[in-house]
Structure 1
Amino acid sequence: MFELSAEHEAFRKSVRDFAEREVAPHVAQWDREHHFPVDVVHAMGELGLFGLVVPEQYGGADGDFTSLCIAIEELGRVDQSIGITLEAGVGLGINPILTYGTEEQKQRWLPDLVAGRALAGFGLTEPEAGSDAGATKTRAVLDGDEWVINGAKAFITNSGTDITSLVTVTARTGADEISAIVVPSGTPGFVVEPAYDKLGWHISDTHGLTFDDCRVPEANLLGNRGDGFRQFLAVLDDGRIAISALAVGLAQACLDHSVRYAKERQTFGTPIGSRQAVAFSLSDLAVSVEAARLLTYKAAWLKDAGRPSAQIKQAAAIAKLYSSEAAVSATRVATQVFGGNGFMEEFPVARFYRDAKILEIGEGTSEVQRMLIARGLGLPVR
């Protein structure tokens, strides 16, 4: 029988207590005002959440990936924007530098990122290169001992906060090669465009980026020249497990709120939870939450156990596909259970409804996950 360790469950409780104490009382107002709470990011850093998978020599806890998924799930259970801030901060900000950076790059950037004093973004998506990331048009040309970068990126998380210290950018460094380059915030020619007006994730920081003859040292190359495509594919594999954990948090929240409401709300003299239509709907939701959680933590366990990358990739795609679609369905169920109240912003299920859809899009659409799963089955899908 699968179960998390006592240490994992104790950690879950500490993160849940933090989320309910530091986030839940304020999240509705932050969502209305599109406010990014830097103080909460600092507090998350003090709690050690950004350093969960980072070695102690860089200020981290040298923990496992399962712990990171637990933290993301519990934050996402209260608010998806706060959950994605952690997920992107670690998976897209810290992970590329930790995995592919030189010792000098790690020593320079990781301590502040791990401590929550700074955030980093990952500039992959472009206006014309989303699922087809190989169509990247941003270019970096070596001029002496500097890279000169020109191009644009779209939908980049954690890229324009007051504490953003860098964005790792993928760019063409040759006709058939894509490389990853670290661009520090404030570099001349690096422009952070105004924040997007998004359907959901109102608290999360998301911007387009423009590079106009942006110059950075040659030493800012991350890993080997031409390895950028392989690097970001590996980064996304981990990210898909983490996004699955975020989706589990949302689905669990929908179940929790709906069960509570179904016990309290009465029609024709009895709680609506006594009606088979509602009870069966919530029973089905409970099944999907449980399935999503098991798929997510199986994938996390495979990564922690060091299983072959192909096995992890397949498990990550399956978990991300199922959990994200289950989360979207969960918001529809919750909104229906709440009836007219579910359409009102004073109830959290309305926020969950807005936040859910991006889970089927970010870090690989559902269509991309199905393509990856089919390839894992040995099918020649394109």
Structure 2
Amino acid sequence: MCKSLVFKILRVLSIFLILVLSSCSSQRKVQRFLDKQLEAPQQDSEFIGILMVDAQNGDTLMSLNPSRYFTPASTTKVFTLYAALKELPQRIPAVKYQFRGDTLHVLGTGDPSALHPVLNDRTAIDFIQSPKHVVMHIGTLEDPSWGPGWAWDDFDQSYQVERTSLPLYGNVLRLIRGSESPQVSPEVFRDSVFLEKTGYRRSPERNHFFYEASFRDTTVIPFTIDAGLTKALWEEAAGRPIIPGKTLPEGPWKVLPGIASDTLYREMMAVSDNFLAEQLMLLVSSTLSDSLSFTRARDYILKTHLPKLPSPPRWVDGSGLSRYNLISPESLVYLLMDLYRELPEDRLFALMAQGGQKGTLEDWYQDPDGPYLFGKTGTLSNNHNLCGYLKTKSGKTVVFSFMNNHYLKPTALIKSRMQRILVWVREHY
């Protein structure tokens, strides 16, 4: 072998060795910084899990309790987003339908977009206005209205909305401040709203709503739903009579395409909308059968798309409202890495909450040059988590999950510590 060729080989090997040693040194530097940040005695009273991975080469930069199970709160929505991206088409299935002569039969898919306060989709409303007769089949939801482990005393809070097969108006009442009395939407509840000081904003048993004279400009209150109310709401919205369906007709159903799926995903992820997350899992179920079941959708996703998922989760709802959920940092990173490999970066990042922008990260990770952190927060009492993608100043992408459970200090201090660590990684990796 000639000397020049040997020299070239040695030079390539030297460069490769330098790069490997440099990468290892960088990883050790990041891990040492994390160890120093979390070595204080006050950390002993809380439970912390962290995993940070280089998106390009899969190298682990930080690791602390990566396979341990945590209460994930709304980071559970990463699982819901993953399920939706795998199974739903580019446009949300608004309803399923069949024509039988001059009669239109409609079957709910769980689409939450119809006249939703933000999404305000009219696809299904407009569709049912023309046929001579409309039969609406409501009883396809196999799950209870609430998920397992949801808090009973949050029944009147805007973040705990009932799940249904044919939602309308986001399944919430809106009170909008007027000059004399509040505006009520939907109007079917106009005579069920009372100026009265009570312990709750709605009666636990029925749709009687209460407000005080000093209420906010807009107050949102979930209503409780049954077949009769569903019929009344859709009749009011469409301006026409609707016949309750008793027996599903035989034969195949067609699907009416609705709102762009990414529009719904962005709203769910940015503001952490629990109702949209729950309904998305029902939508996934609607692609598998004519009945709607979170359990069916979850089991299918885990078996079909995630058979190699590390530390398989205890996944009981779509939103993360339940404290029964248990998920590890490495499971979240696994999903985020899979999505990063499959989706264009600009589309994927646009679906997430963005640092310094609208959503749950609006007041954190701000930068005048634009967002550099894209992810999903998750908060319950004494628990705060964050996972997603971090763009470093060197141009690298870090996939991470940072979970904090069972602390007693103010959540703002937890957020500040997380931001300090993640900003340091951004600047030094």
Give your verdict on TM over 0.5: no
Scaled by the length of structure 2, what TM-score is found? 0.24
Scaled by the length of structure 1, what TM-score is found? 0.26
